[in-house]
Structures are given as C-alpha cells and as structure tokens.
C-alpha cells in the first residue's frame, strides 16, 4: 500500500483524495496545512488518519510514502526540492514549476537520487485524450489543430473588485496561461510533439497577469491554434482537421464526447468511457511510477510544455 501525504487544503486536494479512494494500492495517510486546525478539519473531511503542520513536518512522518503537492504554483519548486531531498516520490500539481529550466534541474536532481517526480497533469492520463490519439489516423493528413480551454473563474470577480487572489497573483505564479492554457498545450505536445515555433498574444487584467490569450504553433505541414481564458466562457469545442475528416472534442482537458466527421459523411458521436473523477489516471500513474515504471517521457512532455509556456509568457500583455 502506498501511503500518500497531501499538501494543501483547497478543493483540488479534496478531489484528489476522492480519486485516491477509487484506486487500488494507494491511500491518503496524512494531510498537511500551514495551519494545524485546517489540517485536522481537512483530514476529517477526507477520512485521513493523521495531519502535519507544514511540508517539513509531513516529510518527516514515517507513514508517508509519496506526496501530492497542491499549493500555489510559485511554491511548488521549493516543496519538490524538499520532498526529493527526503527521498519521497512526488506528484506535483500543474504547472509543475514556473519555468522549464527549473523543472529540468529538479528532474535531474530527482533522477540522480532515484526519486519519482511527476506532474499531476490529469489530461495526460485521461482515457479521453487516448481516444483522441486513436482516432487521429481516421483524419488523414492533419492540417489544423484548434484546442481551447476557456472558462470564467468566479475568482475573477475578486480581481474586478480590486482584490488580489492567488490564481491571478503574479507573485504566486498565477496566470490564466499557467492555470488553463497548460491543458491544451500539454495535449498538443502529447499528440503531436514539440512545434517548430510558437507565437502568442496575451491579454492582461488588473492583477498584473494574463486573463486570456491565444497562440499559434507551427508544425511541419500544419498549424495549431491554442486558446485559453479565465475571464470569459466559450461554447466552442476543440477540433482537429485532417484532409480526410475532422474530429470535434467537447473538452480537451477531459474529452468525453467526440464527434468524428469523415469527409463527405455524416458526423457520428463517440462517448468516452472514463471515471467521473478525472484525477484517477494521474493517481494510477503515480502508483505505477512508485512501482518502477519509466516516467522519463512524462517528465519530458512537461519540460516541453513548460518551454512553450516560457516563450508565451515572454510576450507583453496587451
């Protein structure tokens, strides 16, 4: 049994604990918060037997075989570093860290020490993305890819009210690109590899970070446009166009309804069979990694995605 310690007490940690409950061979043993009472309340809510006050306390516990880090983005690197130093397998929320260079250095350190370090990019382990990959040959030569994740956040209201909030706070690594843009980007890299070039435009909001943006990625023989937003909603699906047909994807972070339209034929819908909790796949991947699976490809896709994010964040805010 792999005993997992959770860092962070927000709703995503709760969802993660639910996913752990659905996977054999893993259990949540301890929950860490910066505040002892919050740790206890959260542990009670998810049925974890023990708590810790802060990350160091968690890493020193003798009932933690792996950790899941769900703290603000800017805090990830120092927590990963501490976990790797302690020899504890680590699953870190997306985006894993704030730059590709930072990730590559941490992965190098983890590999030297023989410690698992995996990004909790749920899309990568989602049956929906695998289904999309399996359908690609039906499309013929791919010419256009259009992937989007645009969802207005309730926390944008805080920004509009003149308040700072973590996910939009540049000091904590907040950014709509880092929050939602990484899903279509990661899916793009998983499906098609690294583009030859990427050109981005980002729209700024009052908190000092991007609220939405678009990017055009250039591949040999096709282009990919990526759209992300935390300040507007969309009714549009993602889509992949090939010379022999197109595939519409309801949600690229967790594809559940695909519509395949072969050239000159009627569209037909395909339902993806997947667990209700979209974090189950990453928990299974963590278990495989702890049991010895080679995760170097996973780490490389994270590195490539972060390199693209680096380039996109270098563009000035419009």
Ligand X SMILES: NC(=O)c1ccc[n+]([C@@H]2O[C@H](COP(=O)([O-])OP(=O)(O)OC[C@H]3O[C@@H](n4cnc5c(N)ncnc54)[C@H](OP(=O)(O)O)[C@@H]3O)[C@@H](O)[C@H]2O)c1
Binding of ligand X at residue 166 (CB under 6 A)?
yes
State the minimum distance, in angstroms, from the CB of residue 112 to ligand X. 25
Pair 30, 5: CB distance under 8 Å: yes
* Residue whose CB is less far from ligand X, 241 or 305: 305
Pair 83, 113: CB distance under 8 Å: no
Binding of ligand X at residue 275 (CB under 6 A)?
no
Please state whether beta strands 257-262 and 210-219 pair in parallel, antiparallel, or not at all (unpaired): unpaired
Rounded Cα distance, 126 and 113, in Å: 29
State the minimum distance, in angstroms, from the CB of residue 271 to ligand X. 22
Rounded Cα distance, 305 and 195, in Å: 10
- Tell me the window of 66-74, 226-234, 261-269, 304-312 that interacts with ligand X (CB under 6 A): 66-74
Binding of ligand X at residue 126 (CB under 6 A)?
no
Please state whether beta strands 197-204 and 2-7 pair in parallel, antiparallel, or not at all (unpaired): unpaired
* Residue whose CB is less far from ligand X, 83 or 247: 83
Pick one of 122, 190, 230, 285: the residue that binds ligand X (CB under 6 A).
122
- Tell me the window of 34-42, 199-207, 229-237, 241-249 that interacts with ligand X (CB under 6 A): 34-42
Angle at 17 between CA 14 and CA 19, to 5 degrees: 115
Binding of ligand X at residue 70 (CB under 6 A)?
yes
Binding of ligand X at residue 146 (CB under 6 A)?
no
Q: What does the longest C-alpha to C-alpha distance in the chain come to?
A: 62
Binding of ligand X at residue 75 (CB under 6 A)?
yes
In angstroms, the Cα distances linking 305 to 6, 124, 134, 147 are: 25, 12, 22, 14
Angle at 193 between CA 200 and CA 272, to 5 degrees: 100
Binding of ligand X at residue 33 (CB under 6 A)?
yes
Binders of ligand X among residues 235 to 274 (CB under 6 A) are: none
* Residue whose CB is less far from ligand X, 10 or 141: 10
Q: Which parts of the chain fold into alpha helices (H)?
A: 11-21, 36-46, 55-60, 76-85, 100-113, 127-135, 156-160, 176, 182-192, 280-290, 296-313
**Backbone dihedral region for residue 114 (phi beyond 0: left; psi -120 to 50: alpha; all else: beta):** left
- Tell me the window of 65-73, 210-218, 266-274, 294-302 that interacts with ligand X (CB under 6 A): 65-73
* Residue whose CB is less far from ligand X, 3 or 94: 94
Interface with ligand X (CB under 6 A), residue total 19
Pick one of 51, 71, 90, 302: the residue that binds ligand X (CB under 6 A).
71
Q: List residues near ligand X by CB under 6 A.
A: 8-10, 12, 33-35, 38, 70-73, 75, 93-94, 122, 166-167, 179
């Amino acid at each position: 049994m792999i005993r997992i310690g959770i860092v962070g007490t927000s709703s995503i940690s709760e969802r993660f604990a639910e996913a752990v409950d659905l996977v054999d061979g893993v259990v949540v043993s301890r929950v860490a918060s910066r505040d002892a009472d919050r740790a206890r309340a959260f542990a009670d809510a998810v049925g974890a037997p023990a708590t810790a006050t802060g990350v160091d306390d968690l890493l020193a516990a003798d009932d933690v075989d792996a950790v899941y880090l769900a703290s603000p983005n800017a805090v990830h690197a120092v927590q990963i570093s501490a976990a790797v130093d302690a020899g504890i397998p680590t699953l870190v929320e997306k985006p894993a860290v704030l730059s590709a260079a930072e990730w590559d250095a941490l992965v190098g350190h983890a590999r030297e020490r023989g410690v698992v370090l995996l990004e909790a990019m749920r899309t990568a382990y989602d049956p929906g993305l695998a289904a999309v990959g399996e359908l690609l040959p039906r499309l013929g030569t791919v010419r256009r890819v259009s992937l989007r994740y645009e969802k207005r956040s309730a926390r944008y209201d805080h920004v509009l009210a003149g308040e700072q909030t973590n996910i939009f706070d540049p000091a904590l690594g907040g950014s709509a690109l880092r929050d939602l843009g990484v899903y279509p980007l990661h899916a793009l890299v998983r499906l098609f590899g690294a583009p030859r070039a990427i050109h981005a435009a980002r729209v700024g909001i009052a908190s000092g970070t991007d609220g939405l943006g678009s990017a055009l990625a250039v591949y040999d023989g096709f282009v990919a446009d990526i759209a992300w937003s935390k300040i507007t909603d969309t009714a549009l699906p993602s889509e992949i166009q090939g010379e022999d047909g197109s595939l519409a994807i309801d949600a690229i972070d967790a594809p559940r309804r695909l519509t395949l339209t072969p050239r000159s034929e009627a569209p037909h819908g395909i339902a993806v069979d997947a667990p209700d909790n979209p974090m189950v796949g990453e928990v299974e991947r963590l278990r495989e990694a702890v049991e010895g699976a080679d995760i170097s490809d996973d780490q490389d896709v994270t590195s490539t995605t972060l390199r693209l994010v680096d380039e996109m964040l270098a563009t000035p805010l419009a």
